[in-house]
């Protein structure tokens, strides 16, 4: 029994009817460009082949009933009175999306939804954005909402910022909507301009052998088993420190509204005027933006060695200047780099726990899966979970109005095409 059929049966057992729509949205791993998104900078994430799925059907009233199928938890609320539920905080993502859609003028009716997924929570793979985007994609199809993919991503971000209470940037929701198989997404977080960058050419129809193409690589995510919650972490504090850097630098650099506007040469000129902590935070963001731009150029030229070196430099900066790494993440990175065939490795996500991401030559993946967990266990007494990922497509409707003949067959249509 595949996941679609299992979710359909779970929905039926809970709500006594068939779902009208099943939507999906992927998690993500950011290859490089960490903590740059809320500084109007550049990021380079990929959508991964692990997703959140939402099965839903309409109700004749204004009530919403939710089932978290993986945990057997339930929550209900009225669309006319959407507020927090301290006992069922998992439901805040769905509640927030419904609230922001209505605030934006979209008409919703009551609905029932069952949510299940395979994106690990608290691991830094953006399960929260996947829930938001899957919910928004499902509601778009369910109620025939005329909403474009960019606006969908922005409203899901608003749900996380204004309802859940996490000041995340736009990257997570954007890659969950716009992911493309075999590609990373270069995103300018200020203009929202994007560029698809091939990162696994063998996954997008390149007929050359892996050795000929130079792209016989896998994206390998290693979970430290150290959970972290953004709301309770120092994420918001880092954002305030970046804003302080902008405020101080703008005294000498008129027109600067975000760290994205500051070149490294300008930073060096005025860094001495910044408090030490603020100076280090700004240095990370400014140099990380430069690393993202250099990474896009390296990938375009097939230079995976340079790209791997930039990943390594990113981790050092996150550890020393931004101070969002922890010993377990550092141990995982060190263990990964000890495997021949690992081109680069770094922590990924907001930090304070979660995962690392490594670019690994295909022939080295088996050794990575054996050696890295062994070394990590020996040094931390914790178990690592390894995910070998493919760069996957973004959100879509799996079953519903986009193609009724394909109900529950596991075939997705794009988030922007649900008519």
List, by residue number, the catalytic residues. 172
- The widest CA-to-CA distance across the chain, in whole angstroms, is 67
What number of helices (H) and strands (E) belong to the chain? Answer: 12, 13
Query: What count of other Cβ atoms lies within 10 Å of the Cβ of residue 40?
Result: 20
Compute the radius of gyration of the chain from its Cα atoms.
Answer: 21
Q: Which residue has the tokens 């060695």?
A: 305
φ, ψ dihedrals at 345, nearest 5°: -155, 145
Beta bridge partners of 32: 44
Smallest CA-to-CA distance from 205 within 179, 181, 184, 185 is with 181
Query: Residue 413 is inside which H or E element, if any?
Result: strand 413-414
Q: Which has the closest alpha carbon to 177: 398, 418, 414?
A: 414
Host H or E run for residue 86: none
């Amino acid at each position: 029994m595949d996941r679609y059929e299992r979710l359909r049966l779970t929905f039926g057992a809970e709500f006594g009817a068939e779902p009208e729509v099943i939507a999906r949205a992927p998690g993500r791993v950011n290859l490089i460009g960490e903590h740059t998104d809320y500084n109007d900078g550049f990021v380079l994430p990929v959508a991964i082949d692990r997703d959140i799925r939402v099965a839903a059907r309409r109700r004749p009233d204004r009530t919403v009933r939710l089932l978290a199928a993986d945990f057997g938890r339930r929550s209900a609320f009225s669309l006319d009175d959407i507020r927090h539920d301290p006992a069922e905080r998992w439901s805040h993502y769905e509640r927030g999306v419904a609230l922001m859609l209505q605030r934006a003028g979209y008409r919703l009716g009551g609905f029932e939804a069952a949510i299940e997924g395979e994106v690990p929570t608290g691991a830094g793979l953006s399960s929260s954005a996947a829930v938001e985007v899957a919910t928004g994609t499902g509601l778009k199809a369910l109620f025939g909402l005329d909403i474009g993919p960019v606006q969908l991503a922005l409203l899901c971000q608003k749900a996380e910022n204004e309802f859940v209470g996490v000041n995340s940037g736009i990257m997570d929701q954007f890659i969950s909507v716009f992911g493309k198989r075999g590609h990373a997404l270069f995103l300018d977080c200020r203009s929202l301009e994007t560029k698809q960058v091939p990162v696994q050419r063998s996954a997008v129809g390149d007929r050359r052998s892996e050795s000929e193409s130079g792209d016989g690589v896998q994206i390998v995510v290693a979970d430290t088993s150290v959970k972290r919650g953004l709301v309770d972490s120092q994420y918001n504090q880092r954002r305030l420190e970046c804003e302080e850097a902008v405020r101080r630098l703008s005294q000498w650099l008129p027109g600067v509204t975000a760290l994205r506007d500051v070149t490294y040469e300008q930073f060096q000129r005025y860094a001495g005027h910044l408090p030490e902590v603020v100076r280090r935070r700004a240095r990370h963001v400014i140099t990380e933006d430069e690393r993202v731009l250099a990474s896009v150029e390296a990938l375009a030229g097939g230079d995976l060695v340079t790209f791997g070196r930039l990943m390594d430099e990113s981790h050092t900066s996150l550890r020393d200047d931004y101070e969002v790494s922890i010993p377990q993440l550092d141990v995982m990175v060190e263990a990964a780099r000890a495997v021949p065939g690992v081109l680069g490795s770094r922590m990924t996500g907001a930090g304070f726990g979660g995962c690392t991401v490594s670019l690994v030559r295909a022939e080295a993946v088996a050794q990575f899966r054996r050696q890295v967990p062994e070394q990590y266990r020996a040094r931390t007494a914790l178990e690592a979970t390894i995910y070998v990922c493919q760069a996957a497509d973004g959100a879509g409707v799996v079953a519903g109005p986009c193609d009724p003949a394909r109900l529950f067959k596991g075939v997705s249509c794009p988030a922007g095409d649900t008519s």
